[in-house]
Amino acid sequence: MIEQAVILAAGRGTRLGPLTNERPKSMLPILGKPIVAHVLGDMAEAGVRRFVLVVGPDDGGMRAYFEQAAPPGLDIRFAVQERATGTVDALTLAAPHLDGPFLLSAVDNVTSAEHVRGVIARYAANPDVIVTLSLLPASPEQIRRSAGVVIEGDWITAIEEKPEHPPSPWAAIMLYAFSHDYLDYLAGVPVSQRGEREIVSGIQAALANGRRISYVTLQRRLHLTRERDLLAINLALLSENGAAQAHSDLPASVQLIAPVRIDPNVRVGDGARIGPHVYLEQGASIGASATVTNSLVLAGGAVQPGERCEETIVDRNVRVPVPLPDHQQMQ
């Protein structure tokens, strides 16, 4: 049984544009919780009890959040990565807190507790395995932004970070289960042509040393990379829930059209129409007679009285239009 995990959460998330001006990617909200809490929560549901969160010099309030909102019975620790020098250096900082097999996840991959349990079970089924990978069917363009693999039966026989010519239609997604002795390979990992020391290079070294690598496939993950992803992830999870959830007091004249989530401490004016597919974060404000659909209004964001807000992320000081593809539009 794997009961410890490392979550890599040091990146600022510059590709998310102005949405990370005031908080890092790890603290962007997904239906009432920062994305890091969703990643951690899926692992905790699968039985993980000790977590090492690798954060940057500015954790965006993550420590304070978990001091208040951590699920009971969990041991949550922090390691600070001062400079963005790669995933190997991040894991090296976490290593002193690890004393057995462990999970490793990026903070921007939301899968499910069921998938986490599958990774743990596949790892446990083969005592000689050094790592179990999560694989996702992907396009060549997507694989060029992640890691490509060669599969022979039940085993991975090759892996390459960001391959120019993907060797198969599968991408390795960073939710891995590692044997503790994988850490022995970290010191020998060189700096890549991208200027970083990368986890995949350590896996390549283990393969070259005759170690075995297994895998588990998944059909879906929610990946937070760009502005549109924040809207898409929230809308996807809203659709799965299907309910209208209001945790703030609303005037009787407000119309909610499911699915909707309204956090505590949200102000909504008389006659506003909210939904479908809307998330209002704590501290958001909706004016009287406004209409909001297919949108997020984040803390400090405001929709003015009588305004119509569609397919937009409204933050404190910025609005980001996020037109949905026709097949994703929610009416």
Q: What is the pLDDT of residues 134-181, one digit of tens each?
A: 999 999 999 999 999 999 999 999 999 999 999 999 999 999 999 999
**What does the pLDDT average to over 87-102?**
97
Q: Which CATH number belongs to the domain containing residue 250 in this structure? A: 2.160.10.10
| Mean per-residue pLDDT, 231-250 | 95
Judge if 231 and 206 occupy the same domain.
no
pLDDT of amino acid 192: 87
* pLDDT at residue 220, rounded to an integer: 83
pLDDT at 193: 87
Clarify whether residues 215 and 291 are in a common domain.
no
Quick one: 127 and 170 in the same domain? yes
Say yes or no: 31 and 17 in one domain.
Answer: yes
Q: Where are the alpha helices (DSSP H) in the chain?
A: 35-45, 62-69, 87-94, 113-124, 140-144, 199-208, 227-241
Residue 57, pLDDT above cutoff 50: yes
pLDDT for 213 beyond 90: yes
Please report where in the chains the tokens 């020391």 appear, as a residue: 197
Residue 70 DSSP class: P
Q: Which residue, of 191, 223, 255, is where some domain finishes?
A: 223
Render pLDDT for 121-133 as a digit per residue (tens, 0 to 9): 999 999 899 999 9
DSSP letter for 192, please: P
Same domain, 191 and 72: yes
CA angle 213, 135, 91 (to 5 degrees): 65
The answer to whether residues 301 and 217 belong to one domain is no
Bridge-based pairing of strands 155-161 and 273-274 is unpaired
Structural domain of residue 83, as residue ranges? 4-223
Residue 190 and residue 233 share a domain: no
Give me the amino acid identity at 80: V
- In 3D, which of 13, 17, 14 has the Cα closest to residue 315? 17
What pLDDT does 326 receive? 54
Structural element, H or E, at residue 319 = strand 319-321
pLDDT at 240: 92
162 and 39 part of one domain: yes
> How many angstroms separate the CA atoms of 322 and 307, rounded?
17
> Average pLDDT of 46-70?
95
pTM over 0.85: yes
Q: At what angle do helices 113-124 and 35-45 cross, to 10 degrees?
A: 50
Q: Is 138 found in the same domain as 37?
A: yes
Q: What is the CA radius of gyration of the chain?
A: 21
Residues 77, 99 share a domain? yes
Same domain, 133 and 34: yes
Answer with the one of 206, 223, 240 that is the final residue of a domain: 223
Does 169 lie in the same domain as 155?
Answer: yes
Total count of domains within the chain: 2
Residue at a domain's end among 223, 240, 272: 223
CATH code of the domain in which 93 resides? 3.90.550.10
